[in-house]
Amino acid sequence: MSRHTPWTIALAMAIAPSLAAAAPGASVSGSADASADAGDPPNDGRRLSARGDTRRNDKWIHRWAPQRNMLELGIYGGVWFPSPHLELFGPDPDLPRFGNQRLKTVAPEIGLRAAYFPLRFLGVEIEGGAMPTRTRDTDARATAWALRGHLVAQLGLWSITPFMLVGTGLVGMQSSAVPQGLGKDQDVAIHFGGGAKVFINRWVMLRLDVRDVVSNRMGVGEGLTSSPEILLGLSFTLRPKKQKRPRPSNGDRDGDRVLDPEDFCPDVFGVQPRGCPQVCVDDNDGDGLTNTEDSCIDDPETRNGFEDGDGCPDEVPPELSDLAGIMEGIQFDTDKDTIKGESKSNLDNAVAVMKKYPTIRVRVVGHTDNQGGYKHNLDLSKRRAEAVERYMVDAGIDTDRIETAGVGPDQPIDTNESADGRARNRRIEFQILEETAAKPRKGARKPAAEPEPAAEPTPPSEPEPTPP
């Protein structure tokens, strides 16, 4: 080996660990990946730290680390230090040194390269380059060239990536004939070295290589000689498309911006707040009752709690006006279904009206504002309506005369943007159902049928007298 070889090997071996030590987080061992809290890192070119620190992942040093199935296409330039003992010439036995001449000490180098990395830590690369120079003695033009391939092993954890490589190929010479030039020749060479890549962003990368190119030494059986080179390159990186991460189970599977826990149709795109598709129906008067169930299709229903299901405008009879509609003064503990003591006088008045009109059936409907989760508000409004029902049943009203419902925030009567508006929306309404005999509710037990009176036993018939 020539005098260049020890210097080149030492420089190539020193550059990789020095760059790795300079990278932030380089002291984290490879075992950190196995201890990550959230399993394998996503295949988007970023590396999660062992603690899952998202602020750390957003830093540039972790953002553009190499990933699997990357392509790199680039150009490079640099300097080549040809050995004085290089055997690249067309020999002439009649000339001194067979016509060989030494080249200038330093030559420029330029070329193209392409690489493919099936793994983030290992890939293959091919290069082709030219090194134009001149001979020392005759100052003749001589262009060396190289066509080679190599394996690249890299520490692909950061946007600054140390690497080492080893490969083989051909080196050749193109020049005028000896003795003026060096003629034409080519030889097999091996090369090895190291360096670092700097991934500026998703598409652009800078690269530094320090290598030693080892080829035959002039003479028969004289061994090998080395010609070091230092290269600086610019490459364009082609990364695979980012894989879409599956939505979490408590996310928004149908993408309608209603989270799955609040979505009544989590797999079908819908509208807020229920998350189900909106169904278009004919409703001429816009009172919420379709034409097929509206007795007055052109006149909107008067929502007053009295015969609201027929779709016609009406007025509540004076004797029932105190019962139908919003029950003022019914209050509950915050976020609970516990009736406050000051509300009981108003409920007692409702009980008195129902006792006075024993054929009236009512529906108690609970309403809330829009604060909190949608399903929670539905459940809270239902429980508050049932609390009113329990109070009235305990006061002597037959349970079959009361129905309950909770609609949550679906039917506001005021804005939810102010405290006063939200207070009005939190309410209990009474709706008069029928002025007929009470109907058994769904699931209620039917009254047991009265047993029929037992038939009177028939007296046994007397035997007919036997004729004498």
- Structural domains present in the chain: 4-238 (2.40.160.20), 316-435 (3.30.1330.60)
In this prediction, residue 250 carries a pLDDT of 62
In this prediction, residue 297 carries a pLDDT of 85
The answer to whether 345 and 408 have CB atoms below 8 angstroms apart is: no
Give the pLDDT of residue 178: 78
Give 236's strand partners.
73, 204
Strands 402-406 and 360-367: parallel
Q: What is the pLDDT of residue 19?
A: 43
Unique residue bearing structure tokens 């329990």: 390
Backbone angles phi, psi at 433, to 5 degrees: -90, -60
Return the pLDDT at 319. 62
In this structure, is the dihedral angle defined by the CA atoms of residues 82, 84, 88 and 89, taken in order, positive or negative?
A: positive
The model carries a pTM of 0.43
CA–CA gap between residue 133 and residue 106 (Å, rounded) = 8
Type of residue found at 199: F
Host H or E run for residue 349 = helix 344-356
Ranges under pLDDT 70 in the chain = 1-58, 243-250, 279-280, 303-308, 316-319, 434-468
Write down the pLDDT at residue 385: 94
pLDDT in tens, 283-325: 777 777 788 888 898 888 876 655 667 778 877 666 677 777 8
Alpha-carbon distance of 305 to 427, in angstroms, equals 14
Identify the pLDDT of residue 247: 53
Long-range contacts of the stretch 421-424 (C-beta < 8 A, 24+): 421/369, 422/369, 422/370, 422/371, 423/369
Half-sphere exposure of 92 (CA within 13 A, CB side): 14
Give the per-residue pLDDT at 293: 84
The CA distance from 288 to 282, in Å, is 10
pLDDT of residue 284: 79
Q: Which of 287, 276, 343, 340 is nearest to 312 (CA)?
A: 287
Q: Output the pLDDT for position 243.
A: 63
pLDDT of residue 310: 77
What are the two backbone dihedrals, phi and then psi, of residue 11, each rounded to the nearest 5 degrees?
-70, -40
